[in-house]
Structure 1
Amino acid sequence: MRIDIEDLHVAYAGRTVVAGAHLVAAEGEITGLVGPNGSGKSTLLRAVYRHLRPTAGRVLLAGTDLRELSPVRSARHVAALPQERGSDFELSVREVVAMGRTPYKRAFAGEDAADRDIVSRALADVGMDAHAGRRFTALSGGERQRVLLARAFAQDPDVLVLDEPTNHLDIRHQVDLLALLRSQRRTTLVSLHDLNAAASVCDRLHVLHAGAVVASGPPRDVLTPELMAEVFGVRAVVVDHPLTGDALIAFDHRAPASPQAPVSGSRPATVRCVR
């Protein structure tokens, strides 16, 4: 299913954080959100998975406003891995993942064979099947991250919304996760701080700056040295990755870019949206 975000405005803690965002997450593609801290990525995603109500604009799922769907119907289509993650589940790993089946169950209904198969497959996908009986609270941060991702997979959604899913993961599990997302070819809207990971895994990127989408397009078209300087305030060059051929951004870690990023809310002069 396709997600269309139209003229989205979202306020949080009394201020407008997302101001007039337009973007598309195409069916079966991985669409990335990148931008500096405070640019509105997490707030935009919270509106998509209905944690925040937009002050204006719409989020459309296959042409239907998500707000017109009941919470249960919405949860059957959209699963989220937010940044604010519960850590106080007094449940086993398997019980946490089984919570993803809730939208499909009547009140007080137990697991059936199909549920058990889906939960087992989700645990195997994230490499946590051997830990199914452990307490969730006994896990490391990276292990919890993988369990909560398995819960989202167990929801069997049409759309995945992932907010910094590689946080807390070591490099091996980051690579495994990004490869898994690509192999599933599920409509995915994901925010990532790691621009090289975004360039590798995403079919299309939307760059947020001061709550607005300032550039959109394939990673190689979007992640230019000019954008790195104007939006992120860093010096960088873009080369071919020697192993994959993807765009690889090499940063100058010794000095920031000059001049710094433009005034809040303005579109970088050298950046063009590729629709």
Structure 2
Amino acid sequence: MRLEIEDLRVALSGREVVSGVHLLAGDGEIVGLVGPNGSGKSTVLRTVYRHLRPTAGKVLLDGDDIRDLTARQAARHVAALPQERGTDFELSVREVVAMGRTPYKRAFAGEDPEDREIITTALEQVGMAADAGRGFSTLSGGERQRVLLARAFTQRPDVLVLDEPTNHLDVRHQVELLALLREHRRTTVVALHDLNAAASVCDRLHVLHDGAVVASGTPREVLTSELMAGVFGVRAAVVDHPLTGDPLIAFDHRAPADVPVVA
């Protein structure tokens, strides 16, 4: 499914925080949103999964305005892993994951064999099958993250919207999650702080700064030393990753971009 955002504008408390954003995620593409804190990444994503209503512009799924869909219809097309995640569920891991089947069920309908297979598969994919009976509230932050991703998978969405999905994950589970996204190849829009992770997993990137898109293209086209200095305020060199060939950003952790290097 193709996701397109046209001239999106969002105002919060009377202040415009997203200004005329245009984005495109083609069918099966993984598209990354990157930018400094406060640049508008989460706000854009919230309009896609209908948590926020834009003041202007449209979010289109294969040409149809997502606002014209019912909540149930939208939930069958779009699954989200937002930053503001509930952590007080008095439910088991399996029960939380099963919630992803709600858009497909009539009121009070029980699980059928297809539901059970989908739930089991999702738990296996995120490495939480052995913990299905544990209470969600007893999990670590990284474990909760994986369970909520499994819940998104059980929705069988056409579009995945992920806001900082690698937060709280250790290195191994970060790598496994990104590999899982590449394997699934659903249309995916993901906000990431880790620019090297974005360069590895994303087909295209959109860079946001002060609520506007300032650069778009492949990771190699977008992630330049000049952009690192101008948007992120850091000195960096972009080289080829020795294992994958992806762009690899080597940051100068000794000084920001506006501080001259002292020999």
Normalising to structure 2: TM-score of the pair?
0.98
Q: Which residue of 1 is the match for residue 152 of structure 2?
A: 152
Match of 1:40 in 2: 40
User: What pairs with 1:110-121 in structure 2 (closer than 5 Å)?
Assistant: 110-121=110-121
In the other structure, the counterpart of 1:164 is 164
Secondary structure (helix, strand or coil) at the match of 1:151 reads: helix
Shift of 1:201: 0.3
Q: Which residue identity lines up with residue 109 of structure 1 in the other structure?
A: A
How far apart are 1:16 and its partner, in Å? 1.4
Aligned CA RMSD, in angstroms, stands at 1.0
Q: Could you report, residue by residue, the CA deviation over 1:147-170 in whole angstroms, capped at 9, with x for unpaired residues? A: 000000000000000000000000
**Structure 2 unmatched runs, 5+:** none
- CA-CA distance at 1:12 after TM superposition: 2.4
Q: Deviations over 1:108-143 (max 9, x none)?
A: 001100000000000000000000000000000000
- 1:68 paired with 2:68, answer yes
Q: For 2:50 and 2:140, locate their aligned partners in 1 and report how far apart those are by CA, in whole Å.
A: 28
CA distance in 1 between counterparts of 2:47 and 2:17 reads 11
Q: How far 1:13 moved relative to its partner? A: 3.5
**Pairing 1:90–2:90 present:** yes
Return the letter of the residue paired with 2:87: S
Match of 1:193 in 2: 193
Q: Which runs of 4+ in 1 moved over 4 A?
A: none
What fraction of aligned residue pairs are identical, expressed as a percent? 79
Q: Which amino acid aligns with 1:139?
A: L
TM-score w.r.t. the length of structure 1 is: 0.93
Measure, in 1, the Cα distance between the counterparts of 2:58 and 2:246.
Answer: 33
Aligned partner of 2:224 in structure 1 is: 224
Distance 2:172 2:84 in 1: 23
Paired with 2:149 and 2:120, the residues of 1 have a C-alpha distance of 13
In the alignment, structure 1 segments of 5+ residues that lack a partner are 260-275
Give the alignment of 1:259-274 within 5 angstroms: none
Shift of 1:91: 0.2
Query: SS of 2:179's equivalent?
Result: helix
| Counterpart in the other structure of 2:233 | 233
Aligned to 1:262: none
